[in-house]
Amino acid sequence: MRYRELISNALRIGRSKGIDPLELELLLCWSFSITRSQYWADRDAFITNPVGKLRFKHGLRRMLRAEPLDHILKEKEFYSRRFFVNRHVLVPRPETEILVETALQRISDCGPVLEIGSGSGCVAITLALEAGIEVTALEIDRRALKVLKRNIRRFKVRELVYACRGNLFPRWGGEWQMIVANPPYLSCGEWRALPPRIRMHEPRGALVAGEAGTEILHRIVTASPAHIRKGGWLVLETGHDQAGGIAESMRAAGFRGIVVTSDLSGIERVVSGQL
C-alpha cells in the first residue's frame, strides 16, 4: 500500500464522522515520524514501515471515537511552540494568542505576573519566554498541574515560571503587576451544545463556569484590585457576548483605560484594564 492510498482509505472511513483531511495528514506524519514535506514528496511511495502503519490505524480508531487529534499526538502548537497536552488540560486555542498579545503590549519589565488557571501553561510560559519576566502559574487541578510542570521542564523556564496549586489566588496573597486569565466562561447550556470531541475529551471544569458562564470572570474582577499593584493590569479572555458586561464590572471595580480586543473572527475576546 502507498501513503496516498492509506490516506484515501482513511478519508473514506472518516468522512461520515466529519474528520478533517488535514488532521489525517498530520496523523500520518506523526505515525511515520516524517514531515509534511516528506509526505508530499513520497506520497506515491510504498509503505515499508509496518509499525507506522499500525500507529496510524490505531490513531484513526481513536479519531473515529471523537477523540481530538491533539490528545493522540499529545502536542498542540501555541505561539509557534509545541506544548504537551492531554485530557486533563484544555487544548490551547488560537484565540488565546490574542490574550497573550494583549498582555505583552501592557506588561511591565519588572513584573511580576500571575496567571490564574494555567492548565498546560501555554500562556504563562509564552509570557515568560517572550518578555523575560517571572510568572506565577496557578492551577487548582492536580493532574493539570503535572502537565504544567512538564511543560515548564520542556521549555527550561523553571527560573521564570513558578507552578503552584490554588484556586483563583495564591494562599499566601501578594501583589502583582499583572493578572492574566483564560478562565472557564461557558454556560451549562453552551457546554451541552458542544461537539462530542470537546464534551467527551476535554475537562469540563476548564470550560464551564456555571449557569450564566460569567461567574468566575466576575469573581476574578471583584477580587483582583486587592492583588494588583497601583498601575497594574488585569487581562481576561471572555466568551461570546461577554466582553461588554465584564468591561462594565471592571469599571465598577476601579479599573480604567479599559480596552476590548476582538479575535480574528470579530468576536470581542479580551478585556484589559489598568488599576
Burial (CB count within 10 angstroms: exposed 0-12, middle 13-18, buried 19+), residue 38: middle
What residue segments make up the domains of the chain, in order of their start?
3-65, 80-274
For the chain, percent of residues with pLDDT exceeding 70: 99
Q: Which amino acid is at 66?
A: A
Name which residue leads in pLDDT, 15 or 155.
155
pLDDT at 154: 97
- pLDDT for residue 76 is more than 80: yes
pLDDT in tens, 11-36: 998 887 788 899 999 999 999 999 99
The grid coordinates of residue 26 equal: 498530520
Q: pLDDT-derived band of residue 148, with 50, 70 and 90 as boundaries?
A: very high
Q: Give residue 110's pLDDT.
A: 65
Query: What homologous superfamily is domain 80-274 in, according to CATH?
Result: Vaccinia Virus protein VP39 (3.40.50.150)
Q: What is the DSSP string of 70-105?
A: HHHHTEEEETTEEEE--TTSPPP-TTHHHHHHHHHH
User: pLDDT tens digits for 164-191?
Assistant: 999 888 888 778 999 999 999 999 999 9
Q: Look at residue 195 and tell me whether its pLDDT is greater than 90.
A: no
Examine the pLDDT at 109 and tell me if it is beyond 90: no
Q: Are 158 and 150 in contact (CB under 8 A)?
A: no
More confident residue, 21 or 126: 126
Q: What percentage of the chain carries pLDDT values higher than 90?
A: 85
Q: Which amino acid type is present at position 187?
A: S
pTM: 0.91
Mean per-residue pLDDT over the chain, rounded: 93
Half-sphere exposure of 20 (CA within 13 A, CB side): 10
For residues 90-116, one letter each, b for 16 or more C-beta atoms within 10 angstroms of the residue's C-beta and e for the rest, the string is bbbbebbbbbbebbeebbeeebbbbbb
Where residue 108 falls among pLDDT bands split at 50, 70, 90? confident
Is the pLDDT reported for residue 143 higher than 90?
yes
Average pLDDT for residues 247-251, to the nearest whole number? 97
Nine-digit cell string for 269: 475576546
- Mean pLDDT throughout 64-73? 92
Please work out, in degrees rounded to the nearest 5, the angle formed at the alpha carbon of residue 225 by the alpha carbons of 219 and 227. Answer: 95
Alpha helices in 133-272 (DSSP H): 142-154, 188-192, 196-199, 215-223, 243-252
Indicate the SS3 state at residue 237. Answer: strand
The cell numbers describing 260, all together, are 476590548
Q: What is the mean pLDDT of residues 68-77?
A: 93
State the pLDDT at residue 64: 92
DSSP state of 120: T
